[in-house]
Structure 1
């Protein structure tokens, strides 16, 4: 069923040609794709503001259904800005939040009550009595009736005028997990394991995540007059494709929104990457065959047919929607050789460029022979996890390698690990008041306590010492190791601050001091509000500030991916093979980060340790290269060039 969206609604959310909805036979929910989640969030906030103001003109109450999580944060920031700078008032607004953990005290920093006040309610003029958030402190005996009363209160206001949603990796909306009924109302629910895994970082471990929640039902949500679902980052891409293009099923509750006649999914480019019109546009419409799209299509066809590039035939192309590509390129033979050479030219054992060599078909320049290199690492182990083999190769080949750890990584050190170090320090110096203070704090710390400055300092020092040990193992001089401690990170909690001029200045100062020929940085965009993305933004802002400097003309930027994802083959501009010995050396470098082994705090949904993930990912990249007909290697690290 195709969504019918009122043109005035389209105008309010700011749809334009660059992000308009493509009417395809695959998609069953109206959606728009934006390059930036920030731009999209501002437009959604403006639609909400327009609705509030329209209701004010009509002297009516505006009833909003609100969501929590990382997706709506920028929407709330923009609503606060509109209130403070453009006099948007919320005096006529009544809000109902989707859900809350159960049991959960309102004062707990992980509660949605705390979240909503922190991000929105404390900063606007909404009447406190008009705020409705499920109460995680209701007794078990009263819970059933409480849920009925919450549902009836929404109905008493005439239902929701606007419902803001996010989506979980199980396809849940609110906390309506797989198996939720189409007509379900507000109720208590048991959380899916994947949902709890995704929340584990905020709770500093999955064991601390509640197993139950209170949630509005699917029926409640579907009765809203307007629904907007936000989704950012490539870790949502798979479930979004199923929700938008798949059949309606209780196993993916978001698919129920296909039956709503005024729903829009608002996506960033990363979240949309599995949609058919994005992933394989030649199956949807006539294509403008750019060089990148040609390579993407040939890689896809090679994987689909299980054939290396040079064995693909005209029939393979014609049978899979790419006849127009052959019309443009001639024969499969010509196209196959062209794409084979393109992929082959990404492979190099000289990531800093091979001296005195013809670099026409090499990914890096041959000059200068010895380059100044900065490896930016968001956390104090991303450098070796994501590019440890390339790191080692750069040092071995005589380049001046600097490593810049952008954050302290202190939040990822467990209390048990910190206590161990504090007790060792106290044993060495029994008179140390600081060590005893840390020990006392950690032994009596409650779940709502933010680490003291002393504890944060100790945890940061633990990660610094591990980083220095790893860089020494790779023969990097200590003076070439830089700990930037970007201020946005130093909040003592999982929730970080916004990027500021102070962060950007620190980045600029280092780049200006070193004047690099190469910069390596983490291009992991799985979570657009996560540390990796903020660290990448700090680099992009620094490059924007410095791009007029003459030395920047000689600076190339290479992006690696984090622990969870790798570049697809068609995206790779430089592939650095590793021998079995280098794979082992990379593993040993990762092992120096001992606090991140054996029960790491932010494991994600992958139970493998980081070194295992890294090796499996590098091995898989090598297999993909081999499968398309290129040489067989033990492992490959991959990079994409960023043109600023």
Structure 2
């Protein structure tokens, strides 16, 4: 299907799923794709179309470019087009949105480095046509430099196309909350949340610069065409505020509501909070009320009315835009049906209950003893995300294997590594231990770990993993470390998933021939390790689909420490007793290097065990509010069919 169309002969409109229908809630044109990869390719196609159009007119094409994780796939596709399709960038002039201050060009965290690594080093753009704010400009020279940057944009003819991402503060570029509608290129102090989000790349928030140079709101708005990229559930709240909220300096991206040629290109996670997606019955009265949509709506209605499912009345439905549900059945029958559906998700037997009727149970009764693989992206996601279920599967006699997909070495601090190296040296002096100590002490800010230090950090994570699995009673021979190659770069930036990664995964799955696979389905960051590890699971299962054992293999997805499945999505809910909650906590405690100041915890200062317990308690509370039994905590799963 053709998905990029000329609009009024001047700009380009996306129609990937069906024609966009503006609602009374939405103030910015937006389209939602099933995944960020497909969306990125189409954005790259729009840019390529514009470049070629300008070439035919013998004109320059002036692009405003963004950095961060969101545009990486767009740049990869543009590079592919250059190398494989002959797309030339000889007529392209670029202006980047921003740069940290102070920041040297050759620093791996600089946007100069980022742009050259992901785009400029791989295309034929003339070096003199590249403009990136200079992070070495200091003192009184900064103001003159910013004015000159504005003049350079105007001299080039203005921005034909501006590519944007969006921060959780609602910033575009580094225009933080409070930025003025008419602001130009300038120095700005970074918001704390922005610095927290950048902390993983800088190996800690203390290393993140506090200031930056950024194009202003007025500069961005001057572009003839704007496309903003939004990926992942963690962007959903700010996307909703930007598209549906009032224009406010506190959410600078809302200024884009007044741009006449702006499109937000989103994936399903980023667009999930928009009214037409979260509560479509408030937008469209002629909905096709499928069972899944009905269940979602009833769960929402219970929250709005603060009633349990069986307490809902005809009036509740009619007063909240859901009268269409009552066209074919009354509220009492509807409530009973949905209550039973929710009740049937609850099971104390995640591997299936032997010798029991499994008609209304989430898992099969047979085989009574199942072979189970629990894939854990990092060496602690298993116990953080599903420690209670992990424990239950072992207790109930299943053959459980845990497979840690990556070493997790990047998340071990230098201080912890130095402590372990020092202990090793004191126990038995060796030149190797001394070299590790010297390498760690000599490490400069944001520099690479040596291979030996990375191995040390990986072994620290391994030791902690064994401590946790032994505590749960899992034999050591059932603990596997896959060390997928994509992860082993020594930096936050990882390689793309390769056939070597898939081969490791496939060989392991074939060896175990599981009846159940559990995998991390936390897709908040589409470029994060969790997403790559999940893609590895999906691709491996696709390639193995013809194997006979795969006919009996079910895939269950769990969520990480930050997000839980919405109640209407949950297909298996495993309750935990207070004792099991404590046991899960102690298993998480075994991962000492990730306790008390873990490196990449985001803007949530709580430790992982605290987040996990609150999430599990919250899920149990939601079930209780809907009229179900009172449990201490619940872990939730969604079954996924790999096509």
Distance 1:47 1:6, change over 3 A: closer
Is the CA contact (8 Å cut-off) linking 2:15 and 2:31 kept in structure 1? no
SS of residue matched to 2:266: strand
Q: Partners of 1:494 and 1:11 in 2: how far apart?
A: 40
SS of residue matched to 1:108: coil
Q: Partners of 1:20 and 1:43 in 2: how far apart?
A: 16
Q: Partners of 1:495 and 1:324 in 2: how far apart?
A: 49
Is the CA contact (8 Å cut-off) linking 1:19 and 1:32 kept in structure 2? no
Distance 1:309 1:91, change over 3 A: same
Distance 1:420 1:124, change over 3 A: same
Displacement, 1:6? 8.3
- Alignment of 1:160 with 2:159, yes or no, is yes
Residue equivalent to 1:313: 313
Residue equivalent to 1:89: 88
Is the CA contact (8 Å cut-off) linking 1:12 and 1:50 kept in structure 2? no
Query: Within 5 Å, which residues of 2 pair with 1:322-341?
Result: 322-328=322-328, 330-341=329-340
Q: Partners of 1:511 and 1:466 in 2: how far apart?
A: 24
Residue equivalent to 1:532: 530
Displacement, 1:133? 0.3
Q: Partners of 2:250 and 2:473 in 1: how far apart?
A: 52
Distance 1:566 1:11, change over 3 A: farther
Displacement, 1:158? 1.6
Is the CA contact (8 Å cut-off) linking 1:12 and 1:46 kept in structure 2? no
SS of residue matched to 1:619: helix
Q: Partners of 2:474 and 2:427 in 1: how far apart?
A: 30
- Alignment of 1:494 with 2:492, yes or no, is yes
Query: Within 5 Å, which residues of 2 pair with 1:168-187?
Result: 168-187=167-186
Q: Which runs of 5+ in 2 are unaligned?
A: none
Displacement, 1:310? 0.4
Is the CA contact (8 Å cut-off) linking 2:11 and 2:261 kept in structure 1? no
Moved over 2 A (4+): 5-17
Distance 1:10 1:544, change over 3 A: farther
Q: What per-residue deviation string (whole Å, max 9, x for no partner) do you get for residues 41-70 of structure 1?
A: 000001101111111111101100000000
- Alignment of 1:553 with 2:547, yes or no, is no
Q: Partners of 1:6 and 1:76 in 2: how far apart?
A: 21
Q: Partners of 1:10 and 1:400 in 2: how far apart?
A: 63
Q: Partners of 1:327 and 1:388 in 2: how far apart?
A: 44
Q: Partners of 2:469 and 2:24 in 1: how far apart?
A: 53
Q: Partners of 2:262 and 2:91 in 1: how far apart?
A: 24
Displacement, 1:325? 1.1
Distance 1:107 1:306, change over 3 A: same
Q: Partners of 1:133 and 1:451 in 2: how far apart?
A: 28
Q: TM-score, normalised by structure 1?
A: 0.98
Q: Partners of 2:186 and 2:116 in 1: how far apart?
A: 23
Query: Within 5 Å, which residues of 2 pair with 1:333-352?
Result: 333-352=332-351
Q: Partners of 1:599 and 1:115 in 2: how far apart?
A: 28
Q: Partners of 1:166 and 1:250 in 2: how far apart?
A: 17
Query: Within 5 Å, which residues of 2 pair with 1:419-458?
Result: 419-430=418-429, 432-458=430-456
Is the CA contact (8 Å cut-off) linking 1:373 and 1:518 kept in structure 2? yes
Q: Partners of 2:147 and 2:138 in 1: how far apart?
A: 14
Is the CA contact (8 Å cut-off) linking 1:273 and 1:279 kept in structure 2? yes
Q: Partners of 2:504 and 2:321 in 1: how far apart?
A: 50
Displacement, 1:10? 10
SS of residue matched to 2:358: coil
Distance 1:324 1:474, change over 3 A: same
Displacement, 1:16? 3.4
Residue equivalent to 2:458: 460
Residue equivalent to 2:480: 482
Distance 1:498 1:440, change over 3 A: same
Residue equivalent to 1:563: 561
Q: TM-score, normalised by structure 2?
A: 0.98
Is the CA contact (8 Å cut-off) linking 1:171 and 1:177 kept in structure 2? yes
Distance 1:535 1:13, change over 3 A: farther
Match of 1:585 among 583, 586, 605: 583
Residue equivalent to 1:273: 272
Distance 1:131 1:494, change over 3 A: same
Is the CA contact (8 Å cut-off) linking 1:20 and 1:32 kept in structure 2? no
SS of residue matched to 2:7: helix
Q: Partners of 1:373 and 1:574 in 2: how far apart?
A: 16
Q: Partners of 1:395 and 1:9 in 2: how far apart?
A: 63
Displacement, 1:36? 1.1
Displacement, 1:449? 1.7
SS of residue matched to 2:100: strand
SS of residue matched to 1:18: coil
Displacement, 1:11? 11
Q: Partners of 1:446 and 1:198 in 2: how far apart?
A: 22
Is the CA contact (8 Å cut-off) linking 2:16 and 2:33 kept in structure 1? no
Q: What per-residue deviation string (whole Å, max 9, x for no partner) do you get for residues 563-610 of structure 1?
A: 100001000000000000000000000000000000100011111000
Query: Within 5 Å, which residues of 2 pair with 1:404-423?
Result: 404-423=403-422
Q: Which runs of 5+ in 1 are unaligned?
A: none
Residue equivalent to 2:596: 598
Distance 1:376 1:358, change over 3 A: same
Q: Partners of 1:638 and 1:19 in 2: how far apart?
A: 32
Displacement, 1:12? 8.1
Q: Partners of 2:447 and 2:432 in 1: how far apart?
A: 18
Is the CA contact (8 Å cut-off) linking 1:13 and 1:46 kept in structure 2? no
Q: What per-residue deviation string (whole Å, max 9, x for no partner) do you get for residues 600-624 of structure 1?
A: 0001111100000000000000000
Residue equivalent to 1:296: 296
Displacement, 1:157? 1.2
Distance 1:494 1:617, change over 3 A: same
Distance 1:197 1:369, change over 3 A: same
Q: Partners of 1:166 and 1:266 in 2: how far apart?
A: 10
SS of residue matched to 2:562: coil
Q: How many residues align?
A: 638
Q: Partners of 1:30 and 1:7 in 2: how far apart?
A: 15
Q: Partners of 2:493 and 2:449 in 1: how far apart?
A: 13
Is the CA contact (8 Å cut-off) linking 1:19 and 1:34 kept in structure 2? no
Displacement, 1:185? 0.3
Distance 1:9 1:566, change over 3 A: farther
Displacement, 1:7? 3.9
- Alignment of 1:381 with 2:369, yes or no, is no
Displacement, 1:429? 2.0
Displacement, 1:152? 0.9
